[in-house]
Chain A
Amino acid sequence: MEKNSLSEEIEKLVDLYGKERSSLLPILQAVEKKHKYISDFAQQEIARVLDIHPVEVFGVITFYSFLTHQPKGRNVVRLCQTITCDILGKKSVADAIQRELGIKFGETTKDKKITLEYANCLGMCDQGPAMLVNDQVYSHLTPEKAVEILSKIE
């Protein structure tokens, strides 16, 4: 049942973006966004409708850091680890988040609410430390402010 709805969803995406190979990334992005990962079944379905080899699809997923083939939490939090955010206090923010969530970077909370990751420069270096919560950006973080932002997400 669930498989059928995923197939349907993928076919809708193909209608929207087109059947060409160049539609692969937007389709993968849409699936990732909705399901927080691209399952084996989704990969095969995408390969089938675009008429490319599933290994190609897998290869593309593993190349991009925002695409994943393993389940993630409902929200992905990415703290910038690059130099300007680093010297502006990334470490204390990172420590506070880890303590509060009880997980380390690269891990997902037990209730599947949050996956915590590092990211490279987010283009907010003038307002660091910065983090992305899904696609929203937060800047001028302090340990307290970061934890407060995370406590508000659903």
Chain B
Amino acid sequence: MENKMKREGAVIFSEYQRGDAIKKAVSIGREDILFELKESKLRGRGGAGFPTSTKWMLTAAAKADKKYVICNADEGEPGTFKDRVLLLEYPELVFDGMVVGGYTIGAKEGIVYLRGEYEYMLKSLEDYLEEMRKDNLLGKNILGKQGFDFDIIIRLGSGAYVCGEETALIESLEGHRGEARNRPPFPVNTGLNGKPTTVNNVETFASVAHIVVKGGEWYRTQGTDKSTGSKLFSVSGDCKKPGVYELPWGTTVTELLNIVQAENTKAVQVGGASGVCIPKSQFDRKLGYEDLGTGGSIMIFNENRDMLHVLKNFMEFFVEESCGQCTPCRVGNTKLLEGVEMIERGEYTFGYINKLKELGETMKIASKCGLGQSSPNSFISILENFKEEIFNNGKGGKH
């Protein structure tokens, strides 16, 4: 693996010292933290984009003897690796954000749910937490504030993509199969062990740390009206400079392609396997909730890539990762994959392919959790946007 590096960016990768956010939090109090968060208009960085201040307010308002702060570090979306960079290079942001979360909602326990694939980080993260304890940034009466107790433990996942879904993650933490729960109730009221729980993405906590220190208004100076602040993009595939980039929301795909030095780009998959694939004609679109919302995975494909092959890889992924709990997702993904294989062999009819697209639309509505609700996205967008290549290739559909 490559060494740690110093990165620069307007928000996440800007100046920050360990403990800054916690010190500030203690001095301004809960109400003000919630106010700044609201001002910042920060939305959850996992992909769903739920306003963070609302989530925290609901958990703070819930009455219970115990509450939890969970950091969702089960980054499994193909093409995403920003959490890896944050946890390895900026643990201060993530952990400080969690401590501020505990202070704000009144939780004493924080849990990082770290994907099993990232077990190699465990030691360094635990050492880091130990240093925080020594500095009284974790533990009892944090920074001398009476009654401000909070500690963090790390729990490992065991190789299940669906555990990135917050209710599946909670099931997993409780010692069950990671199967999504019905909602409501929502975790903010009935989460881990039935207690109010706020589950946030790694990048969300990192953003919170900066917002608490520098203010919501400062945060809003970046990005657009509906998508404030900056975003970490994990860029991979056909480009000279893959990696993690901090860019303001509103950056166009073309701008991003230039920054990472991508040439002869044919397609960009925005949001990973569960996102959409756009062709060249749409590269002027903007990254942001108002247009192309994303958890940050950007995969680049150049002219030499076979888009049907790309699609097949995505569908194989979903067939493997579906938890199998609900029929639209379990059967639907298998059908979509079969459809791709039929096209590959040249044994399809357009009538059937259109039926499969309709099936995809049904899956989006009828599936129980985010996996089945988003898995048809790549199927539909790749078959729509790369029709020419896939169906009119002079080979009768065969590849």
**Which A residues are closer than 8 A to B by beta carbons?**
20-26, 28-29, 59-60, 63-67, 81-84, 86-87, 119-128, 132, 135-139
Contact = CB atoms under 8 A, between A and B. Distances in A.
Interface of B: 1-2, 75-81, 83-84, 115-120, 155-161, 172-179, 193, 234-238, 242-244, 269, 273, 299, 301, 305, 310, 313-314, 316-317, 320-321, 323
A130 B301 CA distance: 18
Given A21-B175, A125-B234, A26 B120 contact: no
Given A22-B174, A60-B177, A82-B313, A123 B160 contact: no
B299 to A, nearest CB: 6
A28 B323 CA distance: 19
A126 B158 contact: no
Contact of B236 (A26, A67, A125, A132): A125
Closest 9 CB pairs of A and B: A24-B175, A64-B158, A125-B236, A65-B159, A66-B159, A126-B242, A63-B177, A135-B119, A66-B158
Contacts, number: 127
B77 A121 contact: yes
22 contacts: A21-B176, A22-B174, A23-B175, A25-B156, A26-B156, A29-B116, A29-B158, A59-B177, A63-B179, A63-B323, A65-B159, A81-B313, A83-B78, A83-B273, A119-B159, A120-B78, A121-B79, A123-B117, A125-B236, A126-B81, A126-B234, A127-B1
Contacts of B157: 64
Given A83-B299, A127-B1, A120 B321 contact: yes
Contacts of B321: 120
Given A82-B317, A84-B299, A127-B242, 18 more contacts: A21-B174, A21-B176, A24-B175, A25-B175, A29-B116, A60-B176, A81-B313, A82-B78, A86-B313, A87-B305, A120-B161, A123-B75, A123-B81, A124-B84, A125-B236, A126-B243, A137-B1, A137-B117
Contact of B117 (A81, A84, A132): A132
A83 B159 contact: no
Nearest to A32: B158
B376 to A, nearest CB: 17
Given A60-B176, A60-B177, A66-B159, A139 B78 contact: no
A64 B320 CA distance: 11
B243 A63 contact: no
Contact of B299 (A23, A64, A125): A125
A87 B301 contact: yes
Given A22-B193, A65-B159, A126-B243, A139 B1 contact: yes
A127 B2 contact: yes
A125 B1 contact: no
A150 to B, nearest CB: 17
B352 to A, nearest CB: 25
B160 A63 contact: yes
A86 B305 CA distance: 11
A29 B179 CA distance: 19
A22 B193 CA distance: 9
Most chain A beta-carbon contacts within 10 A, residue among B157, B158, B178: B158
A142 B294 CA distance: 31
A126 B117 CA distance: 16
B79 to A, nearest CB: 5
A22 B116 contact: no
Contact of B156 (A29, A121, A122): A29
A93 to B, nearest CB: 16
A58 to B, nearest CB: 11
Given A82-B313, A139-B1, A121 B76 contact: yes
Interface centre among A65, A119, A126, A137 (most CB of B within 10 A): A126
B372 to A, nearest CB: 16
